[in-house]
Amino acid sequence: MRKILLYPVITAFLVLCSCRPEPAIRIDMQQPAPIYPDYTDIAIPCNIAPLNFGVREHVSEVQVLLQGETTHLQASGKNKIQFSLKSWKKFMQQETGNRVAVHFSMQQGDSLLNYPPFYWQIMPDSIDSYLSYRLIEPGFEVWNHLQLEERNLENFETRLIADNSELDRSCMNCHIYGNNDGSLSLFHIRGKQGGTVLNRNGELRKLQLRNEEFPAGAVYGSIHPSGRYAAFSGNHIIPEFHAHQNKRLEVYDEYSYLLIAEFDENRLASIPALTDKSKQYTFPAFSADGTQLYFCMAPALELPENIDSLFYSIARINFDAATGMPQGEIEIIWQGSRETGSASHPGLSPDGKYLLFCVAGYGTFPIWHRETDLYLMHLADGEVELPAAVNSDRSDTYHSWSSNSRWFVFASKRDDGLYGKPYFAYIDSTGKTYKPFVLPQKDPEWYDLTLKSYNIPELAGSALPFDRRKLEKVYHQTQSETFK
């Protein structure tokens, strides 16, 4: 419904139009502003890059006024709003901790359409400055061109960590950090010259984390806070296409196990408490203090015929950093069969308060399950909630915490069901979660034009101390270190 205004828009907003011909009519729109990305009514970190946005309609001009408590910021453009980085940073510094009203209008022909304001709460809690992710076609087994990229979240600067066109077109997996620190990280490069590339303070090592005892090698991993160890699952992964309904692909483990890698003496070790071959073990994750190892486990069923009955639980066991091995009894903290769901990717907050994990209807590959949601466990009492403000009706999966435990990023297909994008959500001191927002881009049309999914987003407080050229040299010229 539209209502013709007989009075001017707020004075500050009219300043924006003062040098332009006045439209013949001003119309007050009742529906929300039709902007993309959806940046309406969100909490944002004080150090985030400009939230540029646009409209998918043919208009003469779009105009915006950010009205803070102490200052304001204006911008305009044709079909899109792109803020000056310098002006944006100044505005954010002045309005940190405040609620900002966003007044948006667009001119169509002789009409100026004014939309109800929406709001941004600028949180004083900053987010880690760097995000790494894998860029991949959103297909099934397509990895002809893969890239690992690092993005500075405070601006729009990106740089390639790795490009598989320089690495024999090898598959590359899962770049992960230890302690949200760019000086401690690893990822896998497959292929005949591949290995696990370990970065410790910029020194790159190429490791062969497989042997006769561990033929599947290292797949999903977590770095111990000490940097001396990492826990991995070894997974023999089987992808199969669905032959019915609207489902496309199912991925499951023919077998899986957990192992510990010790990086100083190049040792691989199985975990005595987790060698039951009637079980599947996967997705290890260390607690922030390194005293516990979390993981997912499920009964080993005949697959794929029983795939819809495969429910993974979340368990944990104590970890002794002196010996480099888990000790004591296994404790199941979320029972998949009881909840009639399957858990994956447990992620522990750095402050030790929360466990964030994915739950799908069944199985162990949530990215292909539309129903996948994020669940939040409060570790003090074991209470589990489904944060409605965060989840959507499409796949919401892999996640990573910021080092202050106030933000997390996750991969969501909420826009079109096909392309994954990084979304950021705020969690306050009481555990309340807020509506997420997508990674801002310099050109808000970027997501309409790119043909890549953002996969495995990981937050870090510092940049990686190596570049793609150094990595290329290590790949081609360095012999993989073997492990006992």
Mean pLDDT of 172-190: 92
pLDDT given at position 241: 63
* pLDDT tops 50 at residue 287: yes
Q: What is the pLDDT of residue 52?
A: 98
**Chain mean pLDDT for the chain:** 91
Lowest-pLDDT choice from 19-33, 76-90, 153-167, 201-215 = 19-33
Are the C-beta atoms of 278 and 301 separated by less than 8 Å?
A: no
Task: Please report the domains of the chain, with CATH numbers, ordered by start residue.
Answer: 2-123 (2.60.40.1220), 130-481 (2.120.10.30)
Instruction: Report d(CA 292, CA 284) in Å as an integer.
Output: 10
Closest to 274 measured CA to CA, from 318, 219, 209: 318
Position 182 pLDDT exceeds 90: yes
Asked if pLDDT for residue 12 goes beyond 90, the answer is: no
Contact status, residue 198 vs residue 466, Cβ threshold 8 Å: no
pLDDT score at 16? 43
pLDDT of residue 9: 37
pLDDT at 11 over 90: no
Average pLDDT for 383-388: 96
As a whole number of angstroms, the distance between CA 240 and CA 251 comes to 6
pLDDT range class, residue 271, cuts 50, 70, 90: very high
- C-alpha dihedral, 228 to 258 to 348 to 188, nearest 10°: 70
478, two tokens:
């360095």
Is residue 140's pLDDT more than 90? no
For residue 20, pLDDT beyond 50: yes
Instruction: Spell out the residues 6+ positions from residue 173 whose beta carbon is closer than 8 angstroms to its own.
Output: 134, 187, 188, 190, 219
**Region 187-202 average pLDDT:** 92
pTM: 0.93
- Residue range 464-479: mean pLDDT, rounded: 94
Please name which of 384, 365, 364, 231 lies closest in space to residue 298, comparing C-alpha atoms: 364
- 274, 290, 291: which is closest to 282 by C-alpha? 274
The beta-strand segments (E) located in 137-180 are 147-152, 158-163, 172-178
pLDDT at 476 over 50: yes
pLDDT band at 18 (very low <50, low <70, confident <90, very high): very low
The mean pLDDT value for 312-338 works out to: 96
Distance CA 434, CA 236 (A): 38
Percent of the chain with pLDDT over 90: 77
pLDDT for residue 23: 60
Task: Name the band, by pLDDT with cuts 50, 70 and 90, for residue 24.
Answer: low
DSSP helix/strand/coil, 236: strand
Residue 13 has pLDDT above 50, yes or no: no
Q: Which of 432, 436, 402, 443 is nearest to 421 (CA)?
A: 436
Residue 3 pLDDT: 34
Distance of CA 4 to the CA centre of its chain: 44
Kindly report, residue by residue over 223-268, the tens digit of the pLDDT: 999 999 999 999 888 877 655 455 666 788 888 999 999 999 999 9
Vertex 196 angle, CA 191 and 198, to 5°:
150
Residue pLDDT, tens place only, 401-456: 999 999 999 999 999 888 999 999 999 999 999 999 999 999 999 999 998 999 99
pLDDT at site 53: 97
Q: Mapping DSSP to helix (H, G, I), strand (E, B) and coil, where does residue 310 land?
A: coil
Contact 379, 354 (CB under 8 A): yes
| Separation CA 313–CA 298 (nearest Å) | 6
Instruction: Say what the pLDDT of residue 245 is.
Output: 56
Q: Is the pLDDT of residue 1 over 50?
A: no
User: What average pLDDT does the segment 154-174 reach?
Assistant: 92
Note the pLDDT of residue 248: 60
For residues 374-402, average pLDDT: 96
> What sections of 135-208 are H helices per DSSP?
none
Please tell me the distance from the alpha carbon of residue 156 to that of residue 164, in angstroms, as a whole number: 23
